[in-house]
A and B are shown apart, each in its own frame.
Chain A
């Protein structure tokens, strides 16, 4: 039979059994919606993670010292990082773009009789650039500031806002007091939306060492940047090897920022995969529904199949008639599922359930439904086409 005539036959059959077609399609509709939502939720959580870590430079590697303090031992035994280590790491560095030494302190800031406590970072000149910080006003700390141990300060946005009020004007040149010493504001960072950055102040490393931490020495952290995302592992290796010559390598902890994102995305993917298997199970149940209905249909139409065979309808045409019916039901169900999803997504968004779908997801849902239809439709169709004409005709 011609394909168009087979389709016509199938459509006539489906029209005569509307209710059954709809009930069969229901399983597929639910399955398709599930797939679309699972993919959408998965995509949303990945996007959330990316958003959360978007300020993170994935080339960044944190070098920390562990030991003494954690176990309450005497800190005098501990050899602390210093700015020299940064210079040392950069010597003949193969995979390192830059190494920053940072002194972290808490500092009381006073301006206009107002005093508050903020995190204070003693940083080197490339710190802002490496972290993609942008300037709202003024400039960042320069190498010269560091070398001269100038008493200059760059304010995080929220810090500036606290002292100078909302929508503060360019405040560069103003003097403020840090831990009792007068500093000149040379710049303000653009707001990042992260408190650790926005609620802080930045001064030159050497200045911090000299005027803030003084003889206590302070805690120096080292942050390195790999030459390329692909080289992060080699860079970590390089740091460990080099610092291992100066420090007990057991106390060194080297962690890259990228691995945090990666593991977050991985766990989101695992979640998606789990949800996806639920969706697949729903579809399989839908598929079994199709098979069930088609098997009943083959039995109901046994006599008809016998008549078709008696007038010489080929096996493969009978197979096609049943298989195409299964495909129509499954693809039709999937398309209805896609339409329902399109309506449901904004509704769910209204309830705060984030689902982000791309056209791929709809395609995947239809494709999966099609596969289900073919897979579960084949057996009944084969069964119908393999009937012997005499047996089919005798069936009542």
Chain B
């Protein structure tokens, strides 16, 4: 079991210092997420979900505790190592899509591969394939402001997928979408899960969470409940 763990977190604490006061936003979170799982993180606003997700995604660093990603202890990794991990092992999907406004969809999707030092012409097929997975191969020359919110989020998902990471992380990916495009995006995650991707997804929406194979409930910086959702099995 341990060998298949993608994420292993022990007693993670995140403290923010505000002036001379310090606030513990995460107060000792321990989670294990295995290969191929579809985990939903649920919790009220301000409970620390995004903070946890940013630490999982190596965008932020923890204050104390241990973090093993894919078997590697990255608790004290330096910024350069974390940069490489973000590029190779993690696909991050944001609530606000976070596409680069000046580049078209294809270039946005290709960026994680260009970052690896490849020529655009050598990665353009991979980028097109990733866009095909999210059903947007016909929109590849569009810039973000020429796409709908749902389409932008699907481009962002294609960008997260293109580097074939171990882990897909999504922080409220449907938060800025109407219910129809939200449902499209969730269906996309379900498909990706079926294909074997490990997915961690934050949501407020219980209906979204129903699709997950496991739910982690966070309240006030602590995991309050954790369990396999009954409907989850039927989704797999």
Interface residues of A (CB under 8 A from B): 1-2, 4-5, 8, 12-13, 16, 303-304, 306-315, 317, 389-390, 393
B86 and A312 form a contact (CB under 8 A): yes
B102 and A315 form a contact (CB under 8 A): no
Cα–Cα, bound, A135→B43 (Å): 108
A5 and B83 form a contact (CB under 8 A): no
A12 and B103 form a contact (CB under 8 A): yes
What are 5 inter-chain pairs, A to B, with CB distance below 8 A?
A307-B100, A310-B59, A389-B86, A390-B60, A393-B94
Q: Which of B83, B98, B101, B102 touches A312 (beta carbons < 8 Å)? A: B83
Contacts known (A1-B117, A390-B59); A311 close to B80, Cβ less than 8 A: no
For B, the interface residue count at a CB cutoff of 8 angstroms equals: 29
Most buried by A among B54, B57, B99, B111: B111
**Minimum CB–CB distance for A12 against chain B, Å:** 6
The yes or no answer to B48 lying at the interface (CB within 8 A) is: no
**Minimum CB–CB distance for A380 against chain B, Å:** 18
The prevalent SS among residues of A at the interface is helix
Cα–Cα, bound, A389→B92 (Å): 13
Residue numbers in B under 8 Å from A393 (CB-CB) = 59, 94, 98
Cα–Cα, bound, A186→B100 (Å): 92
Residue numbers in A under 8 Å from B153 (CB-CB) = none
The yes or no answer to B115 lying at the interface (CB within 8 A) is: yes
B102 and A311 form a contact (CB under 8 A): no
A-B contact number at CB 8 A = 70
A390 and B115 form a contact (CB under 8 A): no
B102 and A16 form a contact (CB under 8 A): yes
Q: Which of A308, A312, A390 touches B84 (beta carbons < 8 Å)? A: A312
Cα–Cα, bound, A307→B101 (Å): 11
**Chain A residue with minimal CB distance to B114?**
A5
A315 and B83 form a contact (CB under 8 A): yes
B120 and A12 form a contact (CB under 8 A): no
B100 and A304 form a contact (CB under 8 A): yes
Cα–Cα, bound, A284→B163 (Å): 44
Residue numbers in B under 8 Å from A308 (CB-CB) = 100, 111, 115
**Minimum CB–CB distance for A35 against chain B, Å:** 34
Q: Which of B119, B120, B159 touches A311 (beta carbons < 8 Å)? A: B159
Residue numbers in A under 8 Å from B120 (CB-CB) = 5, 8
A13 and B59 form a contact (CB under 8 A): no
Interface residues of B (CB under 8 A from A): 54, 57, 59-60, 79-80, 83-88, 92, 94, 98-103, 111-112, 114-115, 117-120, 159
Residue numbers in A under 8 Å from B118 (CB-CB) = 2
Residue numbers in B under 8 Å from A309 (CB-CB) = 59, 83, 86
**Minimum CB–CB distance for A217 against chain B, Å:** 93
Residue numbers in A under 8 Å from B88 (CB-CB) = 312
Residue numbers in B under 8 Å from A303 (CB-CB) = 98
Cα–Cα, bound, A13→B118 (Å): 20
Cα–Cα, bound, A303→B94 (Å): 13
Contacts known (A8-B120, A315-B80, A390-B54); A307 close to B98, Cβ less than 8 A: yes
Cα–Cα, bound, A4→B111 (Å): 13
Residue numbers in B under 8 Å from A310 (CB-CB) = 57, 59, 86, 92, 94, 98
Residue numbers in B under 8 Å from A311 (CB-CB) = 86-87, 92, 111-112, 115, 159
B119 and A4 form a contact (CB under 8 A): yes
Given contacts A315-B79, A393-B59, 10 further A-B contacts (CB under 8 A): A4-B119, A5-B114, A304-B101, A307-B100, A310-B86, A311-B92, A311-B115, A313-B87, A314-B115, A389-B60
Cα–Cα, bound, A4→B114 (Å): 10
Residue numbers in A under 8 Å from B59 (CB-CB) = 309-310, 389-390, 393
**Minimum CB–CB distance for B121 against chain A, Å:** 10
Q: Which of B54, B101, B111, B114 touches A2 (beta carbons < 8 Å)? A: B114
**Chain B residue with minimal CB distance to A317?**
B115
Residue numbers in A under 8 Å from B101 (CB-CB) = 304
Contacts known (A311-B159, A389-B59); A13 close to B114, Cβ less than 8 A: no
Residue numbers in B under 8 Å from A306 (CB-CB) = 98
**Minimum CB–CB distance for A285 against chain B, Å:** 29
Residue numbers in B under 8 Å from A317 (CB-CB) = 115
A314 and B80 form a contact (CB under 8 A): yes
A1 and B98 form a contact (CB under 8 A): no
Cα–Cα, bound, A286→B93 (Å): 41
Residue numbers in A under 8 Å from B100 (CB-CB) = 304, 307-308
Cα–Cα, bound, A4→B122 (Å): 13
Cα–Cα, bound, A2→B84 (Å): 16
**Chain B residue with minimal CB distance to A4?**
B119
Residue numbers in B under 8 Å from A16 (CB-CB) = 102
Residue numbers in B under 8 Å from A1 (CB-CB) = 114-115, 117
**Minimum CB–CB distance for A38 against chain B, Å:** 39
A313 and B80 form a contact (CB under 8 A): no
Cα–Cα, bound, A5→B115 (Å): 9
Cα–Cα, bound, A304→B117 (Å): 19
Contacts known (A313-B83, A314-B83); A12 close to B102, Cβ less than 8 A: yes
**Chain B residue with minimal CB distance to A390?**
B60
The 8 closest A-B pairs by CB, nearest first: A312-B87, A312-B86, A390-B60, A311-B112, A389-B59, A307-B98, A5-B114, A313-B115
